Structure 1
């Protein structure tokens, strides 16, 4: 009986060892699965946080640049008209450049020269309407002070404009302008 007891005891130990190994393997697989899920969630959260940061950064950059560019776009002096209109076009990009060039050539250039117009645009307030990766729409409140041969005292007018800013390389330019 002693031999049988020994055999039986050895079988039990072998079964117990197999069961222990199976449990350890199952626990290892569970821990590995949890680690993979955790790493995936952490990676997604990091990516999404980066995206949100990029949009906030784009919004802030476009707002600051837009405030400067809109004043340059809408200001000119009849005495330095060619230079001022070239500066204005330098603030634009895309199809808006040609649209604005047409307006300057067909209306602004002759009128400003004939009437000796000088106009200065100032931004009173600005905010962001919408943000995409490479496009930000701003709402800008402007004051324009205009003098002319017939009106040497400044005529001040206010307006609201939606300004579409588009990323061009590492900077932002005006890709659209709509008065409200």
Structure 2
């Protein structure tokens, strides 16, 4: 008995049609037509939209400092006021002095200036050396050396040559300014002069500004300006 494998298989109904359909499906693919030169170019892909930007956070309101107590609120302004007044006093040289005491100081300084000016502007050719030595004790500072030099080089030679005698009198004197140990005075001086060249007395009227400086317990002349 022959095996069933050698027998031809009967076609199954519909198999042919399916084979043809399958053959059509697996047959060669149609070739695509070449692109036309007038065809539109491919569309450019648009970029993706950017993600939305988050808005910056709103600034925080400044924190309000706690209100200080009454003593702290007044401490800073009072300290600033005291410092300002102290600085003003230093800059202006303001020092409190009793008006009566200042008046006494000015009077003593003016009295010393009167006596010193009269001696300084008076001389006698016969005793001029002794007078110059006495006058130097009334002076102080660089002005002392200036006076000595002028006496030796200018005043003495002319006084001896012309046998000159000069007597000075302060007709009026007043305080111009005063500060601490320095007082400036204005003096009106009359000088009567006689000599070999002037037998009749000649009176010269001068105005002198003298600066008096307190040295120890004395008021000495530290500067003289004549005009």
Q: Structure 1 length as normaliser, TM-score?
A: 0.70
Matches within 5 A, 1:1-180: 48-50=96-98, 52-180=99-227
Q: Residues 134 and 167 of structure 1 are in contact (CA less than 8 Å); yes or no, is this contact kept in structure 2?
A: yes
Runs of at least 5 residues in structure 2 that lack an aligned partner in the other structure: 1-94
SS across alignment from 2:151: helix
Could you list the runs of 5+ residues in structure 1 that have no partner in the other structure?
A: 1-46
Measure the CA separation in 2 of the matches of 1:95 and 1:48. Answer: 31
Q: Which has the larger radius of gyration?
A: 2
Q: Which has the higher contact order (CA 8 A, sep 6+)?
A: 1
Cα deviations by residue, 1:130-158 (Å, 9 ceiling, x for unpaired): 00111100000000001111112111010
- CA drift at 1:57: 2.3
Q: Quote how far apart the aligned CAs of 1:49 are.
A: 4.6
CA distance in 2, matches of 1:161, 1:140: 5
Q: CA deviation at 1:83?
A: 0.8
Q: Which has the higher helix share?
A: 1
**Aligned-pair CA distance for 1:175:** 0.6
Paired residues in the alignment total 133
Rounded to whole Å, the distance in 2 between the matches of 1:48 and 1:137 is 20
Partner residue, 2:36: none
